[in-house]
Amino acid sequence: MEYNEALQKVREYGQEHVLEYFSQLSEDEQKSLLQQIEQTDFSVLAKAAEGDKELKRGVITPIPAMKLSEIEEKKAEFTEEGLKLLRAGKVGAVLLAGGMGTRLGSDDPKGMYNIGLTKDVFIFERLIRNLLDVVEQIGCYIHLFVMTSEKNHEKTVAFLKEKKFFGYDENYVTFFMQDMAPASDYTGKVYMETKALMSASPNGNGGWFSSMKRGGVLDIVHKAGIAYLNIFAVDNVLQRIAEPCFVGATALNGCAVGAKVIKKAAPDEKVGVMCLEDGRPSIVEYYELTTELMEAKDASGEPAYNYGVILNYLFRVKDLEEIVSKEMPLHIVEKKIPYLNEAGETVKPEKPNGYKYESLVLDMIHMLDSCLVFEVVREKEFAPIKNPTGVDSVESARALLQKNGVVL
Ligand code: UTP
């Protein structure tokens, strides 16, 4: 993008200050700032006026889940259908690895974290190993799409190349970068991190499909004839990916999406739960779950909102294409954002000083007509690594991996 175009764009959104130091920058810095302006969606900043209040929700009612006993009964039928689709190349896998992993506190991408005790065991390695289990079962590779962000792309690609993709065929791995969203003060004015760089962060995991489309990756999906995409988070080292029974169950039930869920460990466990919202599939976040909803019971006396999502969904591509141009809800989160002070120095604030803007994958579910809520065994498929110690941590995930026979 040329300077004049950039100026026009920032002016349109009242953000001319991002070019204040332009004449003082080196040629390379100028180029990179212009590129950043080109790639930034400033329209989100208008939402700053709304603040970080919770988004308005519709009427929440329970959604039936397909429980373990029912899945066990139909396992052979589901698995046969899943294997057929997988062998026909109809299923791709999408690893969401664009997050910042702030809670884990490592400077490297989360997938590079070594959770081994007696040998190296990287998070990426565990996930690829899990996918390779299916590859070995079906006798052919599955396309693996890896979403990174500007903040971790180079390191992620270099690491996986160095490790020879942990045995995965490189020809079946495609990287794409998610979009960035600017960070602003409370009035919606973008912060500058340095004179040449706007404060920006990955725009949340909800933009994965539009980023795939924008990055031209959807062409590979079409060319390969992929009809389903199994998206999964980088931090759950136990999850099964593109697992035949889940694929077959979602397909045979004719659902737009399948969501893997676990039975909650306690009514107040911090996981989002599946529900219906105004009659459509949806997810209520744990902090939105009122006491009334927490205590509600279904016809059989079980808690009515008892199934938590683990960020492992199988989407039907044709339905994603229908919703991709629709506007997604924007989540405004108060954060500490590094900024440039009047002396032109970068300051790392001690307290929150503004907003980041994110869209979340869970909001995509509500945009679709039907969802298969598919229970999986918690101890076998849920070991998220969010923190170094304590709940959902390296420690707890190690214990669960060992319980499942993984040598660390
Ligand atoms: P989390 O919400 O746990 O965020 O992401 P995070 O960035 O990994 O960790 P914290 O909150 O900073 O500690 C859930 C999944 O969504 C992906 C993450 O990589 C992870 O797989 N994600 C999140 C993205 O791909 N992009 C984003 O912008 C945010």
* Residue range 336-388, pLDDT digits in tens: 999 999 898 999 999 999 999 999 999 999 999 999 999 999 999 999 999 99
What separation in angstroms does the CA of 316 have from each of 84, 91, 129, 308, 342?
16, 9, 24, 21, 50
Tally Cβ neighbours within 10 Å of residue 287. 8
Question: Cα 383–385–389 angle (5° rounding)?
Answer: 110
* Residue range 7-62, pLDDT digits in tens: 999 999 999 999 999 999 999 999 999 999 998 889 999 988 877 776 788 999 99
Residue 22 near residue 194, CB atoms below 8 Å: no
CATH superfamily of 53-403: Spore Coat Polysaccharide Biosynthesis Protein SpsA; Chain A (3.90.550.10)
pLDDT at 171: 97
Strand-pair partners of 202: 180
How remote is the CA of residue 233 from the centroid of ligand 1, in Å? 8
Q: What is the mean pLDDT of the chain?
A: 94
278, burial (CB in 10 Å: exposed 0-12, middle 13-18, buried 19+): exposed
Residue 271 pLDDT level (bands cut at 50, 70, 90): very high
What phi and psi values does residue 312 have, to the nearest 5 degrees?
Answer: -140, 105
How remote is the CA of residue 123 from the centroid of ligand 1, in Å? 14
What separation in angstroms does the CA of 286 have from each of 23, 43, 51?
48, 29, 20
pTM, rounded to two decimals = 0.94
pLDDT at 337: 93
Mean pLDDT, residues 186-196 taken together: 96
pLDDT above 90: residue 299: no
What separation in angstroms does the CA of 393 have from each of 235, 343, 389, 396, 399?
10, 40, 5, 5, 10
pLDDT at 100: 86
Which of 96, 108, 208, 386 has most ligand 1 atoms within 8 Å of CB, for mutation?
A: 96
CA dist 160 and 387 (Å) reads 23
How remote is the CA of residue 3 from the centroid of ligand 1, in Å? 33
How remote is the CA of residue 304 from the centroid of ligand 1, in Å? 28
pLDDT at 165: 98
How remote is the CA of residue 115 from the centroid of ligand 1, in Å? 18
Which residue owns the Cα nearest ligand 1 atom 9? 101
pLDDT at 93: 98
CA dist 143 and 174 (Å) reads 8
Which residue owns the Cα nearest ligand 1 atom 14? 233
Mean pLDDT, residues 240-250 taken together: 98
How remote is the CA of residue 76 from the centroid of ligand 1, in Å? 35
User: Could you please report the per-residue DSSP string of 193-223?
Assistant: EETTEE-EEE--GGGHHHHHHHTTTHHHHHH
How remote is the CA of residue 70 from the centroid of ligand 1, in Å? 32
Q: Which residues form the pocket of ligand 1, taking CB atoms under 6 Å from any ligand atom?
A: 96-103, 110, 147, 178, 202-205, 233-235, 311, 386
Which of 100, 180, 313, 391 has most ligand 1 atoms within 8 Å of CB, for mutation?
A: 100
Q: Which residue has the higher pLDDT, 18 or 268?
A: 18
Rounded to the nearest angstrom, the gap between the alpha carbon of residue 196 and the centroid of all alpha carbons in its chain is 29
CA dist 78 and 93 (Å) reads 19
Ligand 1 atom, smallest distance to 96 CA: 25
pLDDT at 25: 96
CA dist 339 and 34 (Å) reads 19
Rounded to the nearest angstrom, the gap between the alpha carbon of residue 235 and the centroid of all alpha carbons in its chain is 10
pLDDT above 80: residue 210: yes
* Residue range 179-188, pLDDT digits in tens: 889 999 999 9
Domain boundaries along the sequence of the chain: 1-39, 53-403
